[in-house]
């Protein structure tokens, strides 16, 4: 029966052609506009702007104090014309000494630099989140389309088994098994469809688009033949990762605060000028001025100022430890990602060049054997489902590779692939 052998082309040939002709979502389109639409990026940039705005106030002296006074007034009237009284205005200005203002400015500038680096890191972090969601959708969509193609094949096999049974050349168990497998596959397709819709909603959410925005099937970008070796990626991450830059700036800020706290035992200067006038009996006005110079007097420096120094030193030590820990985490994560990437790419290559061609050859041989009566229906079905499972697993390897590269891009703050490119459909293997 000719109808049984029309499927001898690859299982996913039809799906592949449809995928190539239909509109596809590229990773570049996902990245487009993230830096301006994503609220997390906007919040990080606002925090950076706020930190930058604190530099100016840190460089200025405290606001002067103005005091108004009425001196030597007779009670209860407090008359302004009292010949013994005096009207005064006094201006006081505190002047920090020992370089306290300069250290405050240094700390503020370091915090501003940390905020700027965190804003840059937010862009890369959102970019990586979008890529993870994109590859999840790519895998789910690929598995769904793979399973849909497999279902059509299973329907053909089931109809063939039924026709053979009706003609007296087959078994009823083959027909029943095909029906059972179809029911299982329909159940899986329902679950896959719901999962795909959830992933579309998540991707739209990351892109700050309406949840129900239509999303065409994603196409994975073409991965480079090779990436920089692990030591080079590690060096790039330690040099360029924005979050490391932010933590380094926070260490500098904490050290400046600690140095400033150490100078709190030094007094601050207070300057004052007073102008006064009083009416004289002859109708004239007596005017006078005075100048003052004072210093703050740190009492119990071992307690108040000493505790301030201890707290600031502890905060600086904590910032340094956080930086060291982040460096360690970065090196470790780069090592993990490069290992995961090597594994996924090796398996992908193995599937494309060896396993899938072998499984397809086995499936073709099984069909020939089934046609000749030397192989039963279950063996044929198992061989065909092995091809389907392998293609679905290949989608997973491709997604794992893409995710690993996306995270490496975030850690190194370096583009490693062309997000606008399009790789071959995983089912298009020799």
**Nearest C-alpha neighbor of 154 from the set 331, 378, 351:** 378
- What confidence category does residue 23 fall into, taking pLDDT thresholds of 50, 70 and 90? confident
Map out the domains of the chain with their CATH numbers: 2-61+96-265+301-412 (1.20.1600.10)
Whole-number pLDDT of residue 76: 61
pLDDT: is 165 or 77 the higher one?
165
Average pLDDT of span 310-326: 92
Name the average pLDDT for the chain.
Answer: 86
Phi, psi (rounded to 5 degrees) for 213: -60, 125
Band the pLDDT of 81: cuts 50, 70, 90.
low
Instruction: Residue 244: name the closest of 337, 340, 320, 338 by CA.
Output: 320
User: Distance of CA 46 to CAs 25, 39, 40, 50, 58, Å?
Assistant: 31, 10, 10, 6, 19
Query: Distance between CA atoms of 135 and 133, rounded to whole angstroms?
Result: 6
**Dihedrals phi, psi of 25, to nearest 5 degrees:** -95, 120
- Within 8 A by CB and 6+ apart from 136, the residues are 199, 202, 399
Q: What is the pTM of this model?
A: 0.83
pLDDT value at position 395?
94
- Taking only the tens place, the pLDDT of each residue in 351-393 is 999 999 999 999 999 988 887 778 888 888 889 889 999 999 9
Per-residue pLDDT averaged across 62-77, rounded?
75
Average pLDDT on 333-337 reads 97
**Are 97 and 47 spatial neighbours (Cβ–Cβ below 8 Å)?**
no
Separation between Cα atoms, residue 239 and residue 211, nearest integer Å: 38
13 pLDDT above the threshold of 80: no
Q: What is the pLDDT of residue 213?
A: 92
- The rounded distance, in Å, linking the Cα atoms of 147 and 15 is 10
Kind and range of the H or E run holding 33: none
Please confirm whether the linkage preceding 127 is cis (ω < 30° from 0): no
Q: Is the pLDDT assigned to residue 68 strictly greater than 60? A: yes
- The better pLDDT of the pair 304, 357 is held by 357
* pLDDT for residue 82: 58
Residue 294 is predicted with a pLDDT of 84
Beta-bridge partner residues of 271 = 93, 293
Report the alpha-carbon angle 320-324-329, nearest 5.
145
Query: In the predicted model, is pLDDT for residue 8 greater than 50?
Result: no
Q: Does position 309 have pLDDT exceeding 80, yes or no?
A: yes
pLDDT > 70 in the chain, percent: 89
pLDDT tens per residue across span 89-146: 999 988 888 888 899 999 999 999 999 999 999 999 999 999 999 999 999 999 999 9
Percent of the chain with pLDDT over 90: 53
pLDDT number for residue 419: 94
Is a pLDDT exceeding 80 seen at residue 5? no
pLDDT in tens, 288-300: 888 888 887 777 6
pLDDT band for position 11 (cuts 50, 70, 90): very low
């Amino acid at each position: 029966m000719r109808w049984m052998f029309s499927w001898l082309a690859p299982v996913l040939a039809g799906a592949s052609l449809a995928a190539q002709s239909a509109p596809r979502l590229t990773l570049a389109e996902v990245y487009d506009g993230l830096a301006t639409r994503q609220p997390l990026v906007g919040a990080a940039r606002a925090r950076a702007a706020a930190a930058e705005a604190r530099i100016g106030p840190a460089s200025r002296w405290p606001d002067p104090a103005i005091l108004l006074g009425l001196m030597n007034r007779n009670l209860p009237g407090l008359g302004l014309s009292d010949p013994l009284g005096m009207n005064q205005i006094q201006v006081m200005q505190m002047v920090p000494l020992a370089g306290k203002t300069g250290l405050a400015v240094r700390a503020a500038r370091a915090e501003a630099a940390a905020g700027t680096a965190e804003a840059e890191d937010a862009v890369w972090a959102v970019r990586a989140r979008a890529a993870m969601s994109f590859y999840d959708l790519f895998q789910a969509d690929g598995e769904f389309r793979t399973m849909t193609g497999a279902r059509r094949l299973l329907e053909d096999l089931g109809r063939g088994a039924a026709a053979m049974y009706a003609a007296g050349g087959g078994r009823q168990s083959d027909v029943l098994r095909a029906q059972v497998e179809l029911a299982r596959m329909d159940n899986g397709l329902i679950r896959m469809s719901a999962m795909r819709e959830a992933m579309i909603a998540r991707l739209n959410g990351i892109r700050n688009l309406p949840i129900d925005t239509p999303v065409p099937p994603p196409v994975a970008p073409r991965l480079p033949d090779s990436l920089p070796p692990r030591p080079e990626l590690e060096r790039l991450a330690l040099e360029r990762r924005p979050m490391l830059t932010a933590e380094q700036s926070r260490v500098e800020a904490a050290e400046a605060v600690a140095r400033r706290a150490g100078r709190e035992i030094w007094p601050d200067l207070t300057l004052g000028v007073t102008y006064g006038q009083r009416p004289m009996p002859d109708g004239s006005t007596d005017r006078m001025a005075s100048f003052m110079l004072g210093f703050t007097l740190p009492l119990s420096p071992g307690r108040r100022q000493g505790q301030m120094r201890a707290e600031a030193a502890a905060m600086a030590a904590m910032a340094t430890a956080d930086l060291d820990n982040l460096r360690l985490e970065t090196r470790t994560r780069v090592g993990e990602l490069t290992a995961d990437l090597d594994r996924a790419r090796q398996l992908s290559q193995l599937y494309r060049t060896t396993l899938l061609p072998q499984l397809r050859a086995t499936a073709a041989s099984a069909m020939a054997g089934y046609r000749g009566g030397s192989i039963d229906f279950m063996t044929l079905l198992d061989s065909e489902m092995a091809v389907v499972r392998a293609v679905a697993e290949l989608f997973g390897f491709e997604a794992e590779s893409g995710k690993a590269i996306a995270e490496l891009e975030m850690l190194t703050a370096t583009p490693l692939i062309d997000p606008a490119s399009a790789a071959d459909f995983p089912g298009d293997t020799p």
